[in-house]
Amino acid sequence: QVQLEESGGGSVQAGGSLSLSCAASGYPYRGYCMGWFRQASGKDREGVAAIYTGSDSAYYVDSVKGRFTISRDNAKNSFELRMDSLKPEDTATYYCVTVSRPCPRLNTPEDWQPLNYLDAWGQGTLVTVSP
């Protein structure tokens, strides 16, 4: 069973930076997609970024392109989301997710639902960006 645990959330002023980390246990092979979603209060969950281990291809939602960077660290069994030039509209709870297949589209959260014991969502970490 894959398990994920996020860390690195917190509060920052607009223009600042934060890095989120997702520690993963139990995923043994290439062919995984790792992603970050966020959900602001009263809004739907939104895909932010994803990276596919099979090719290291990275994907971003338009609103974060050029500001956020997703990366993975195989040695630490973790993946990260580096967030620069943060804006108040980035305020949300951020969730990491991993699925054992090529990356679904970021704009279809329903396609990221776990299909087997190799897929998992983290519990979320809060990011607050003040004006």
pLDDT in tens, the chain (131 residues): 788 999 999 999 999 999 999 998 876 556 689 999 999 999 999 999 999 987 888 999 999 999 999 998 877 788 899 999 999 999 999 999 999 889 999 999 999 999 988 899 999 999 999 99
Give the CA distances from residue 28 to residues 62, 84, 126, in Å, rounded to whole numbers and listed in that order. Answer: 31, 31, 28
Helix, strand or coil, per DSSP, at residue 103: coil
CA distance 52 to 48: 14
Residue 119 sits at φ, ψ, to 5 deg, of -105, 145
Whole-angstrom distance between the N-terminal and C-terminal Cα of the chain? 40
Q: Look up residue 56 and give its two tokens.
A: 């290291």
Q: Buried b vs exposed e over 103-114: b needs ≥16 C-beta within 10 Å? A: bbebeebeebee
For residue 68, which of 54, 53, 47 has the smallest C-alpha distance?
Answer: 47
